[in-house]
């Protein structure tokens, strides 16, 4: 019996040793996206994108000779829960990197946890700027890579004189609209020609708001809506535009959070001609994009599923992370973060994405027009890539700030006038 007990203990110890060794042989990748709640309409696809990229990389042998192991959690569109889930990924699951968040409020919730525990987050969605963390790489657009060019297009190409800034009530729309309001005034737009409106997440009753927009647009000046409405609230918003007979020729809408995925759930006929500003459309013609679309449809086993801008931003971030880990020879956060600066990978529109010292990318800017099939036809684009600016030139507290995470500066908010770092290093 004693020999049996000793053998059993030895067997259990061997099992634990093998289990620990096996765990050490994988690189854990956190996936922090809402799979339920109001943002699931947008975020579930990004979870699937990360899993597809991990599967692809594992077929190539993984990274540093180790397989990638996804750790998927659902923060359920609950902003405080994002922080709790992030803490679990870093302390319990010991992930080496996390791809996640959509809304800025979720990113803001996660940020102190990532910085406290020295994690690494890749954030793949357009945002309001006014931030640069040593622990975050922003692969979505900053305002100068989406919002500002979109307004320029409306003014210069469409002759718009009045602007409705309509957004969901949280940090991204409010800060972006502060930037846009200030910018519009520098372009000679009067305060009375700017209407600002905010609605809660999941807002569904748009009748009175759309009626107000229609009335605002009847003053004899060309009017447009600049939309930072996020999540599933877009569905009833666009339906109500159609219900009240507002066409793109009457009051065009340019959206910053509506892409192919959101349009796939809508009757697009009344929306033809409305616009969106992104850095990628599925309709982009390039060899890399054709291969990406083919891989996506095969992976998801649904030929009707579409691709979109945050998917490309996720793709770029993932490819850059792999290159940085291989360059650093380790998954150590500090060494990978240093290796990330200057990394370049092909984007999906035929150009190149480069990681800058401020943890932002170079990106092309595209204005697309909604088509009946739910795709976008590019009607305008920048000649090349635009460098992402972490701090807006149109906000008093930001115009003198720059971000540079290389030595000797190593600061996310360096004041060029006082020559001091005004934020955390």
Residue 413 lies inside a defined structural domain of this protein: no
> What SS3 class is residue 99?
strand
Judging by beta carbons within 10 Å of its beta carbon (0-12, 13-18, 19+), is residue 312 exposed, middle or buried?
buried
Q: Are residues 211 and 302 in the same domain?
A: no
CA nearest 364: which of 377, 376, 378, 353?
353
Would you say 359 and 391 are in contact if contact means Cβ atoms under 8 Å apart?
Answer: no
Measured CA to CA, the distance from residue 18 to residue 314 in angstroms comes to 33
* Whole-number pLDDT of residue 17: 42
Does a structural domain hold residue 419?
Answer: no
Q: Is residue 420 in a domain?
A: no
Would you state the structure tokens that stand for residue 347, as one six-digit string? 């984007």
The sign of the torsion formed by the CA atoms of 232, 306, 264, 352 equals positive
Query: How many domains is the chain partitioned into structurally?
Result: 2
Domain assignment present for 176: yes
Spatial neighbors of 269 by CB under 8 A, at least 6 apart, are 372
* 349 domain-assigned: yes
CB atoms within 10 A of CB 106: 29
Residue 168 belongs to domain with CATH number: 3.40.50.2300
The sign of the CA dihedral 104, 108, 111, 113 is negative
d(CA 149, CA 146): 6
pTM: 0.90
Tell me if 89 is assigned to some domain: yes
Q: Does residue 169 sit in the same domain as residue 224?
A: yes
Same domain? 76 vs 95:
yes
Q: Is residue 203 domain-shared with residue 325, that is, in the same domain?
A: no
If asked whether residues 360 and 380 sit together in one domain, one would say no
179 and 230 part of one domain = yes
Instruction: Identify whether residues 30 and 45 lie together within a single domain.
Output: yes
Residue 264 pLDDT: 86
Same domain flag for 255 and 296: no
Of 57, 61, 50, the C-alpha closest to 97 is 50
58 and 74 fall within a common domain: yes
* In a shared domain, residues 179 and 264: yes
**Residue 148: per-residue pLDDT:** 97
pLDDT digits over 87-109, tens only? 999 999 999 999 999 999 999 99
pLDDT tens for each residue of the chain, 425 residues long: 455 455 545 555 544 444 444 446 899 999 999 999 999 989 999 999 999 999 999 999 999 999 999 999 999 999 999 999 999 999 999 999 999 999 999 999 999 999 999 999 999 999 999 999 999 999 999 999 999 999 999 999 999 999 999 999 999 999 999 999 999 999 999 999 999 999 999 999 999 999 999 999 999 999 999 999 988 888 899 889 989 999 999 999 999 988 998 888 778 887 899 999 999 999 999 999 999 999 999 999 999 999 999 999 999 999 999 999 999 999 999 999 999 999 999 999 999 999 999 999 999 999 999 999 999 999 999 999 999 999 999 998 899 999 999 999 999 999 999 999 997 66
Answer yes or no: do 150 and 263 share one domain: yes
Q: Strand 411-415 vs strand 420-421: parallel, antiparallel, or unpaired?
A: antiparallel
Determine, yes or no, domain membership for 41. yes
Single out the residue of 177, 243, 167 nearest to residue 207, CA to CA: 243
Q: First and final CA of the chain: distance in angstroms?
A: 61
Q: Looking at residue 14, what is its pLDDT?
A: 47
Domain limits at 314? 24-141+289-364
Q: What is the largest CA-CA distance in the chain?
A: 95
For the chain, the helix, strand and coil percentages under 3-state DSSP, each to the nearest 5: 40, 20, 40
pLDDT in tens, 276-291: 999 999 999 999 999 9
Domain identity same for 70 and 151: no
Q: Which of 331, 364, 397 is the last residue of a domain?
A: 364
């Amino acid at each position: 019996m004693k020999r049996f007990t000793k053998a059993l203990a030895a067997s259990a110890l061997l099992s634990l040793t093998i289990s620990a060794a096996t765990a050490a042989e994988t690189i854990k990748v956190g996936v922090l996206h809402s799979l339920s709640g109001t943002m699931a309409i947008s975020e579930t696809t990004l979870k699937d994108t990360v899993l597809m990229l991990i599967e692809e990389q594992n077929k190539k042998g993984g990274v540093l000779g180790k397989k990638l192991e996804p750790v998927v959690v659902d923060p359920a569109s609950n902003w405080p829960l994002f922080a709790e889930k992030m803490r679990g990924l870093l302390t319990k699951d010991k992930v080496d990197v996390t791809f996640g968040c959509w809304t800025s409020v979720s990113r803001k919730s996660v940020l102190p946890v990532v910085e406290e525990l020295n994690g690494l987050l890749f954030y793949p969605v357009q945002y309001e700027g006014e931030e640069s963390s040593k622990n975050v790489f922003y692969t979505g657009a900053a305002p100068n890579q989406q919002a500002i060019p979109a307004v320029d297009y409306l003014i210069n190409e469409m002759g718009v004189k009045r602007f409705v800034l309509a957004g969901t009530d949280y940090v991204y729309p409010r800060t972006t609209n502060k930037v846009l309001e200030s910018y519009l005034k520098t372009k000679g737009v009067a305060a009375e020609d700017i209407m600002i409106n905010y609605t809660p997440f999941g807002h569904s009753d748009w009748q009175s708001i759309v009626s107000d927009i229609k009335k605002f647009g009847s003053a004899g000046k060309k009017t447009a809506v600049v939309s930072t409405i996020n999540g599933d609230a877009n569905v009833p918003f666009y339906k109500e535009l159609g219900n009240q007979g507002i066409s793109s020729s009457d009051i065009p809408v340019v959206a910053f959070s509506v892409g192919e995925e959101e349009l796939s759930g809508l009757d697009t006929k009344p929306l033809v001609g409305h616009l969106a500003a992104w850095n990628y459309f599925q309709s982009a013609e390039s060899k890399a994009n054709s291969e990406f679309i083919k891989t996506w449809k095969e992976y998801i086993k649904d030929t009707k599923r579409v691709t979109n801008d945050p998917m490309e931003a996720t793709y770029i971030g993932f490819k850059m992370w792999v290159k940085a880990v291989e360059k650093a020879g380790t998954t150590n956060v500090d060494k990978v973060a240093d290796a990330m600066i200057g990394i370049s990978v092909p984007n999906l529109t035929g150009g190149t994405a480069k990681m800058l010292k401020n943890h932002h990318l170079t990106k092309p800017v595209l204005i697309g027009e909604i088509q009946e099939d739910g795709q976008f036809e590019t009607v305008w684009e920048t000649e090349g890539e635009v460098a992402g600016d972490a701090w807006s030139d149109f906000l008093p507290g930001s115009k003198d700030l720059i971000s540079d995470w290389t030595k000797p500066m190593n600061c996310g908010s360096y004041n060029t006038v006082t020559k001091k770092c005004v934020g955390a290093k």
